[in-house]
Amino acid sequence: MKATLALPSDDKRWRMVNATMRRHGYSSSALIEALHTVQQAFGYLDETALQYVAKSLRVPLSRVYGVATFYNHFMMKPGGTHTCVVCLGTACYIKGSPQILETLEKRLAIRKGQTTPDGKLSLMVAHCVGMCWLAPVVMLDDDVQAEATPAQAATKIQEWVSK
Amino acid sequence: MSGVVTLKINGIDVGAQENETILDVARENDIFIPTLCYLEGLSRIGACRLCLVEVKGISKLLPACATTVAEGMEVFTDTDRLRKYRRLIVEMLFTEGNHVCSVCVANGHCELQTLAQQHEIDYVSLPYLYPQRTVDASHERFVFDHNRCVLCTRCVRVCDEVEGAHTWDIRGRGIESGVITDLNQPWGTSVTCTSCGKCVQACPTGALFMKGKSVGEMVHSPSFLTFLAQMREAKK
Amino acid sequence: MTTKLPQSQLPEEEILRVAEQEQEEKSQYQRHIYVCMGAACLAAGSATVKDSLSEVVDQNGFAGRCAVHGGGCRGLCAEGPTVTIEPDDVLYGKITPQDAPDIIKNLGKKRPLERLHRPTDRPFFLRQQRIVLELAGKVNSERIEDYIASGGYKSLLKAVHEMSPVEVINEITRSGLRGRGGAGYSTGLKWRTVAKADGHPKYVICNGDEGDPGAFMDRSVMDDYPFRLLEGITIAAYAVGAEQGYVYIRAEYPLSVRRVQNAIRQAQRLNLLGNQIAGTAFNFDVQVRVGAGAFVCGEETALIASIEGKRGQPRPRPPYPATAGLWGKPTLINNVETFANIPAIIRNGADWFASIGTEKSKGTKVFALTGNINHSGLIEVPMGITLREIIYDIGGGIPNGKRFKAAQTGGPSGGCIPEEHLDISMDYESLAGIGSIMGSGGLIVMDEDSCMVNVAKYFMEFCMTESCGKCIPCRVGTAQIYRILDNTTRGTATLSDLEQLEMLCDMVRHTSLCGLGQAAPNPVLSTLRFFRDEYLMHIVEKRCPAGVCHLHPEPALYNDTKESVR
Ligand SMILES: Cc1cc2nc3c(=O)[nH]c(=O)nc-3n(C[C@H](O)[C@H](O)[C@H](O)COP(=O)(O)O)c2cc1C
Ligand code: SF4
Ligand code: FES
Ligand code: FES
């Protein structure tokens, strides 16, 4: 029986992380599940979290880092307050989503996967958000912009960032 | 209870234990098959694809290092097709990193260089990708020059499987991947590294070397692994 | 309305009693309204539509006569939110909460509301044949009782009570069912290998990673018929002798994760999962594992690594997972749609299933029909239907009077089908014969405004960024191929680049470790085969015939390729 490690701080969210690991009997195979919980609770994975998970599950540090960076879903930095997702699935691509992405990248002066310096907006891409008939699709948090054009998306973002 | 099988390699009849790989049997019979990710004493991952061979009746090419022999198998290790593919694979390795043999510590003792010679590559027909890579000289005795890394993961495996430290792993994926220390930190700050130097010995190129070596002076000797592996086997 | 059931084992009669009870309860209502709760309709606002329908029903005193349920997808995703009214089989589309009073008032009238009505006697529906999606839209995706009342779990009961595992496997083998995850391997043979393999325990894994960037068939099954999926998985576990199962769902499908988890809990409650299932000696349980955004994890050995908590990197096969899979134990891996076919085969028999489709490709296939097409959505058609029928009869043709150019199947591992092959029979062999694959069911239609070089570049970029990086051919090869395609769309490629492109494709295809790399060149090879003239126009005339690429023929920086190594 492995002893439970002390939580990194008294932030309640660590208890959720610990609960996930406990549910899996602190097995090393619970690594991805544990990282999911960290991501969900904190929004990203920082060094404290990686250390904590590694020690609790007795997984080498480098393996934890390797797993965390292998999967797209895990973020190593905090995201913006808002997230804009440009769909680059096949249907959206052939209907012009790359142009939308390009316009937004220029307008926001960041590349895909990055967050604006003021921390307000992250610009992300997805490979099909499952609404192909509305292509090209841009999502602003939970808002769906159907049949988006570069100009429209840019205006919408501007509105949103200035909010 | 391992039985004996007979097979043909390049038309020659050879005998083998049934749990041996094609590569084992080829080496016992002095038949050359190029390898890179394979290192005796480490797990076989079949990743570099240089040891691919043709087997009669199987449409796919098979990695000799990770394929067990079977009775009546007919293996071909040196066909035109295989030579063409191997040459391209080696060329791609050159384009993927930043390799300048003339200034490299391992010049003359580098497996990548040897592979290029074996495949008569005197120029690379593919464009170089010139990745941005770093040199980590923070360890007191060793240096990791990522420009010369071919991602064979021999260092990762020797550290995990033999030394038991698992200091190394791979970050990211695809063309963006790279070898990391602990939480992607300078080697000198690693909390798991025992400074045993096994990784340095296992490295096929000049990516991992001892401080103070100059051009052409870094000679790797991974043969200790065979010895270690045998000793462990005996203990079991 | 939850039916109280004892926690202990439920013999068959009690499950039948659940069905009866549910049916009786349902028959008290004259009308059942199913509001689609699939991901597409939810995004279009179906949850508020459902609320307002319930509200109107309550307010107008219809409460005892009309029940509102969350239902599944009818495939008309472009018309969401959709609502199905039973038993009249009336389908409404593009509903807003404001439409609720009109819909309720119209119940029982002879004619459906003209303005919202989506007639189901159109070719879109009539040309389809539904096996996997047979209960489409007509069962509650969150209530096992509803599924049981609609005939669900009869197949599992039949299997565990009346058939031996070998008989189940024989039935599946005779049916001719082939894996729907892409490769099309015989499901029966795979089951037999796992059943015969030495090793204990054995595992069953359902592959719900659905990574093709334009496909959502498996999501629909997991969202709308999670019980059907579980029933199929449980039958498989019985047949191969497994005690533990995993459903691996991609992280992008949070709704599927919730629905499948909910379905597992409900099945456990009715003892359709757990120990001594349905009063027999058969024990089996299922857990959900959530992926984390990596296409390669759809590959079976990578998926296993991922479940084991590792980087999702494939390993050489053999050994196949059937003999050495999860934790090194014999493991059955099948696709979602493959499992969803099982209950129908057990219920109706192998001969029935084998009578559908072509000689070598039996049954039906679900496609996600999208792109430049009038009726996008989820369709299920018998194998052997022609592409022309799918596009022009079911899909209603190409919008805006444009000309059909090509259809893409199999996503990043597949190929393009040009106009001259519109009459191709949609089955595994015919598609492979022209350099495409059946794939998992993405079917994207492209009109004359699509540039085929650009499409090839798109898929290569996808493969490059999704390559796990373990083997050299795929890791570096996809990057080199992408570079040439990128140069082609920029107007900086030369004819010798084209030669190099073909050489690289050939090498990557034959030397890569796993299916990702081996199939990555397919979109390039297939567009080269059918649209070589477009490549040449980009390279020689510096012109994109579709007007998609902006070509600036400046010399590339790294054109001097003959650098010395040593
Ligand atoms: C790169 C790659 C991605 C794959 N993605 C999926 C997938 O998303 N879903 C799936 O069911 N099979 C996928 N497969 C196929 C699986 O490896 C495996 O063959 C399949 O799940 C077996 O199920 P079946 O026999 O029912 O088709 C993929 C294969 C490769 C090489
Ligand atoms: S083919 Fe690509 S995805 Fe598959 S093992 Fe090789 S690098 Fe990884
Ligand atoms: S391709 Fe964008 S939603 Fe499917
Ligand atoms: S030596 Fe066999 S694949 Fe690398």
Atom in ligand 1 nearest the alpha carbon of residue C339:
26
- Express each pLDDT in C228-283 by its tens digit: 999 999 999 999 999 999 999 998 899 999 999 999 999 999 999 999 998 899 99
Report the chain A residue with the minimal C-alpha distance to residue B185.
A62
Atom in ligand 4 nearest the alpha carbon of residue B47:
3
Query: Looking at the domain assignment, is residue A8 inside a domain?
Result: no
Whole-number pLDDT of residue C109: 85
- Minimal Cα–Cα distance from A61 to chain B, Å? 5
Percent of chain C exceeding pLDDT 70 equals 96
All residues of chain B having their beta carbon less than 8 Å from the beta carbon of residue C464 are 174-175
Domain C453-565 coded CATH 1.20.1440.230: yes
Between positions 132 and 151 of A, the ones with CB within 8 A of C are: 132-135, 144
- Top pLDDT among B42 and A4 is at B42
Contact call for residues A39 and C293 (beta carbons, < 8 A): no
Per the CB < 8 Å rule, is A133 touching C411?
A: no
Structural tokens at position A33? 């599940």
Please give the Cα distance from C159 to C137 (Å, whole number). 26
Phi and psi for C330 in degrees, rounded to 5? -55, 130
From ligand 4's centre to the CA of B64, what distance in Å?
A: 7
- Minimal Cα–Cα distance from A156 to chain B, Å? 33
Do A18 and A60 have their domain in common?
yes
Do A140 and A111 have their domain in common?
yes
Do A50 and A107 have their domain in common?
no
- Express each pLDDT in C480-520 by its tens digit: 999 999 999 999 999 999 999 999 999 999 999 999 999 99
Residue C565 pLDDT > 70, yes or no? Answer: no
Do A88 and A60 have their domain in common?
no
Residue C284 pLDDT > 90, yes or no? Answer: yes
Whole-number pLDDT of residue C179: 96
Closest CA to C335 of C243, C261, C434, C236: C236
> Which residues contact residue B182 at a Cβ distance below 8 angstroms, ignoring those fewer than 6 apart?
A61, A62, A65, B167, B189, B190, B191, B192, B193
From ligand 1's centre to the CA of A81, what distance in Å?
A: 36
Structural tokens at position C409? 């199947």
Indicate if ligand 4 lies below 6 Å from the C-beta of B36. Answer: yes
Q: Which amino acid makes up residue A48? A: T
Between positions 32 and 51 of A, the ones with CB within 8 A of B are: 47, 50-51
Of C39, C213, C446, the CB nearest to A127: C213
Atom in ligand 2 nearest the alpha carbon of residue C512:
1
Give the CATH number for residue A147: 3.40.30.10
Pocket of ligand 1 (CB under 6 A): C 179-183, 185, 207, 209-211, 295-296, 298-300, 333-335, 338, 440, 514-516
Atom in ligand 3 nearest the alpha carbon of residue A131:
3
What is the mean pLDDT of the segment spanning A101-111?
Answer: 93
Closest CA to A163 of A147, A145, A148, A141: A141
Structural tokens at position C206? 């359902």
What is the mean pLDDT of the segment spanning A4-17?
Answer: 91
Domain C364-447 coded CATH 3.10.450.200: no
Q: Virtual CA dihedral for C225, C233, C23, C63, nearest 10 degrees? A: -30
What is the mean pLDDT of the segment spanning C313-332?
Answer: 96
Structural tokens at position A91? 């249907």
Bond prior to C87 in cis (omega within 30° of 0): yes
Structural tokens at position A88? 């680059």
B4-78 and B90-235, same CATH topology: no
Please give the Cα distance from C153 to C266 (Å, whole number). 13
Q: Name the residue at shortest CA distance from atom 8 of ligand 2.
A: C468
Whole-number pLDDT of residue C359: 94
Structural domain count, chain A: 2
Structural tokens at position B92? 């791609």
Report the chain B residue with the minimal C-alpha distance to residue C513.
B47
Indicate if ligand 2 lies below 6 Å from the C-beta of C470. Answer: yes
All residues of chain B having their beta carbon less than 8 Å from the beta carbon of residue A65 are 169, 171, 180, 182-184
What SS3 class is residue C331?
strand
Please give the Cα distance from A39 to A37 (Å, whole number). 5
Per the CB < 8 Å rule, is C562 touching B45?
A: no
ipTM: 0.95
Whole-number pLDDT of residue B166: 97
Q: At the top level of CATH, which class does the domain C144-354 belong to? A: alpha beta
Best to test chain A binding among B155, B157, B183 (most A CBs inside 10 Å): B183
**Mean pLDDT over each residue of chain C, to the nearest integer:** 91
Indicate if ligand 4 lies below 6 Å from the C-beta of B33. Answer: no
Whole-number pLDDT of residue C9: 47
Structural domain range at position A19? 13-70
Whole-number pLDDT of residue C136: 74
Query: Looking at the domain assignment, is residue A105 inside a domain?
Result: yes
Of C77, C292, C371, the CB nearest to A94: C371
Whole-number pLDDT of residue C468: 97
Per the CB < 8 Å rule, is C565 touching B99?
A: yes
> Which residues contact residue C146 at a Cβ distance below 8 angstroms, ignoring those fewer than 6 apart?
C22, C26, C69, C139, C140
Pocket of ligand 3 (CB under 6 A): A 87, 89-92, 128-132, 135, 137; C 214
Closest CA to C375 of C388, C393, C402: C393
What SS3 class is residue A30?
helix
Tell which phi-psi region holds residue B212, choosing left (phi > 0), alpha (psi between -120 and 50) or beta: left
Query: Among A156-160, C323-327, C390-394, C439-443, which stretch is predicted with the lowest mean pLDDT?
Result: A156-160
Angle at the Cα of C498 (from C492 to C504), degrees rounded to 5?
115
Instruction: Provide the CATH topology of domain B4-78.
Output: Ubiquitin-like (UB roll) (3.10.20)
What are the structural domain ranges in chain B? Answer: 4-78, 90-235
- Express each pLDDT in C142-175 by its tens digit: 999 999 998 999 999 999 999 999 999 999 999 9
- Express each pLDDT in A55-99 by its tens digit: 999 999 999 999 999 999 999 999 888 899 999 999 999 999 999
Q: Which amino acid makes up residue A63? A: R
Residue A150 pLDDT > 60, yes or no? Answer: yes
What are the structural domain ranges in chain C? Answer: 27-36+38-71+83-117, 144-354, 364-447, 453-565
Indicate if ligand 2 lies below 6 Å from the C-beta of C379. Answer: no
Query: What is the CATH code of the structural domain delimited by C27-36+38-71+83-117?
Result: 3.40.30.10
Instruction: Provide the CATH topology of domain B90-235.
Output: Alpha-Beta Plaits (3.30.70)
Whole-number pLDDT of residue C17: 84
Using the structure block, give the residue that is written with the tokens 């239907």: C385
Query: How many interchain CB pairs under 8 A, A with C?
Result: 105
Pairing of strands C31-36, C66-71: parallel
Along the 236 residues of chain B, how does pLDDT read in single tens digits? 468 999 999 999 999 999 999 999 999 999 999 999 999 999 999 999 999 999 999 999 999 999 999 999 999 999 999 999 999 999 999 999 999 999 999 999 999 999 999 999 988 999 999 999 999 999 999 999 999 999 999 999 999 999 999 999 999 999 999 999 999 999 999 999 999 999 999 999 999 999 998 888 888 888 787 777 777 777 76
Report the chain C residue with the minimal C-alpha distance to residue A60.
C310
Per the CB < 8 Å rule, is C376 touching A90?
A: no
- Express each pLDDT in C172-204 by its tens digit: 999 999 999 988 999 999 999 999 999 999 999
Whole-number pLDDT of residue A5: 84
- Top pLDDT among C138 and C351 is at C351
Residue A2 pLDDT > 80, yes or no? Answer: no
- Minimal Cα–Cα distance from B173 to chain A, Å? 6
C-alpha to C-alpha distances, B191 to A58, A135, C463, nearest whole angstrom:
14, 50, 36
All residues of chain A having their beta carbon less than 8 Å from the beta carbon of residue B160 are 60
Whole-number pLDDT of residue B224: 80
Q: Binning pLDDT at 50, 70 and 90, where does residue C8 land?
A: very low
Residue C562 pLDDT > 50, yes or no? Answer: no
